[in-house]
Amino acid sequence: MSEIMTRSIQDYLKHIYELNEYGSAASTNDLAARLNIAPASVTGMLQKLANSKPALVVYKKHQGATLTRPGEKAALEVIRHHRLLETFLVTTLGYSWDEVHCEADKLEHVISEDFEARMAKALGHPTRDPHGELIPTADLVMPADKSCPLASLRTDDTATVRRVSDDDPALLRHLRKIGVVPEVKIVVKSYSEFDGNLTLQVEGQKLNVVLGKAITSQVFVDK
Amino acid sequence: MSEIMTRSIQDYLKHIYELNEYGSAASTNDLAARLNIAPASVTGMLQKLANSKPALVVYKKHQGATLTRPGEKAALEVIRHHRLLETFLVTTLGYSWDEVHCEADKLEHVISEDFEARMAKALGHPTRDPHGELIPTADLVMPADKSCPLASLRTDDTATVRRVSDDDPALLRHLRKIGVVPEVKIVVKSYSEFDGNLTLQVEGQKLNVVLGKAITSQVFVDK
DNA sequence: AAAATTATTTAGCTTCACCTAAATAGTTTT
DNA sequence: AAAACTATTTAGGTGAAGCTAAATAATTTT
């Protein structure tokens, strides 16, 4: 076994990376849910990725998976492709930010390193994609991110929207409509203990908005 | 069995289309050579394509394959993707004409209809790709082509280069160097019975060139 | 027309990445 | 601590798309 990066493997690594970012090891079930496949299938693949040379994940029965160095590099490669592609589609073909995710998910596995380099150059080596998510550098380092969930703010906190999760087009359209997009400043006018709702004053918007946890957990801000 | 268009199937259909254009049915061996797989594997796939609903090819043992209407439409879809992509890569990312084929071969299977439409619009609905090859229309009709091989010209014939085969990068670099590119006018100064060499005067070039059949059979012109 | 050569097909096998059903391990609840 | 529940793994199986080796059909040469 060696360096054969199939589409599936790239998808596994990408999602393991994202789950690892969150907390600790990526569980079988979480991966299965994200990949839309049966948990049993995930177990098989994790065993394979752990036994490949070089190993791409560290995996112990019932304890989920984390990426090894080579696995992380491979994941960052895919994530760099994805985020550059999203940026490219928006600036070059006039896609809106809720339309790019799907297309990028397919293209990310297929473009050459040359294509990647040409996009990066044409776009002026961007550091964030249209949703504000950080783009790994050409040498596959993920820049540090100190943003926190909007949901963690409380009354009178002020912050700047940094990034939003890109995988729900409907949420993205809603956020655009209410002006919650990267680089916009917000002020928390009130917080509700019971449902976790936040009332926000959004820069450039006349009316305040009330957002529930389903939304505020998907938006990340810098204080 | 129904409308599942895998990458492999798309590749088979594309190459069958191109072989059909040439002469008659696409033979097992010719397909195997183009696809870089064993002839035995081709037989299996042709049987499958002929028995699918709807049938994508007409196939009789030992007589090769031709496309049905649905098969041709599917092939033209892939070819339209390929040729629009080549055009897009050249105009948008500064690829040169010998570099685009490979990348387009991978991307053609992956882009959405939306991506196709956006490219076509951004490029002003081009009718030919960078090699001069005709791009099937959005409703999947291949425009008529009356060009003939440069190899069929004789002394004192004049013609305009229309298109060149795109699958050999080295040949493309050579053609560019000697100025044999689409829309350029040429005059045949002499023809050699023995080796089929043609001596050409190429518009915009100081010196005449002598080209063998390996080249002149890959260049197509309008008289 | 027989022999030789070339093209194609059949048969049986492999790998990849998934699946379901059943078994087991780990975690909560009572 | 047992019972119940949830998460995970094992076992066995599928379809896609390739492979090799051997058989057969078609074509060309002698």
pLDDT tens by residue, A124-183: 999 999 999 999 999 999 999 999 999 999 999 999 999 999 989 999 999 999 999 999
Chain B contact for A96 (CB, 8 A cutoff): no
pLDDT above 50 for B97: yes
Share of chain B above pLDDT 90, in %: 93
Cα–Cα dist B146/A183, whole Å: 56
In chain A, which residues have their Cβ closer than 8 Å to the Cβ of B114?
A: 99, 103
Q: Within 13 Å, how many C-alpha atoms sit on residue A221's CB side?
A: 25
Chain B contact for A92 (CB, 8 A cutoff): yes
Cα–Cα dist A16/A65, whole Å: 7
The answer to whether the beta carbons of residues B215 and B198 sit under 8 Å apart is no
In chain B, which residues have their Cβ closer than 8 Å to the Cβ of A105?
A: none
pLDDT above 50 for A1: no
Q: Does domain A7-67 have CATH number 3.10.105.10?
A: no
Residue of B106, B109, B113, B116 for testing the chain A interface, max A β-carbons within 10 Å: B106
Chain A contact for B111 (CB, 8 A cutoff): yes
**Closest partner CB to A110 (pick from B94, B107, B112):** B107
The answer to whether the beta carbons of residues A58 and A68 sit under 8 Å apart is yes
Q: What letter would DSSP give residue B145?
A: -
**Chain D positions with any atom < 7 A from a protein CB:** 7-12, 16-22, 25-26
Mean pLDDT of chain A: 96
A3-46 pLDDT, tens digit each: 789 999 999 999 999 999 987 899 999 999 999 999 999 999 99
A54: cis peptide before it, omega within 30°? yes
A102-132 pLDDT, tens digit each: 999 999 999 999 999 999 999 999 999 999 9
- CATH assignment, A148-222: 2.30.30.90
Nearest chain B CA: its distance from A51 CA (Å): 29
A57-100 pLDDT, tens digit each: 999 999 999 999 999 999 999 999 999 999 999 999 999 999 99
**Closest partner CB to A92 (pick from B92, B106, B109):** B92
The predicted structure's pLDDT at residue B1 = 44
The count of CB pairs under 8 A between chains A and B is 43
CA A220 / C1′ C26 distance in Å: 34
The predicted structure's pLDDT at residue B22 = 82
Q: What is the SS3 assignment for B220?
A: strand
Chain A contact for B115 (CB, 8 A cutoff): yes
Nearest chain A CA: its distance from B133 CA (Å): 23
- Count of C-beta atoms within a 10 Å radius of residue A47: 14
Chain B contact for A125 (CB, 8 A cutoff): no
B114-130 pLDDT, tens digit each: 999 999 999 999 999 99
- Sorted by where each begins, the domain ranges of chain A are 7-67, 148-222
Mean pLDDT of chain B: 96
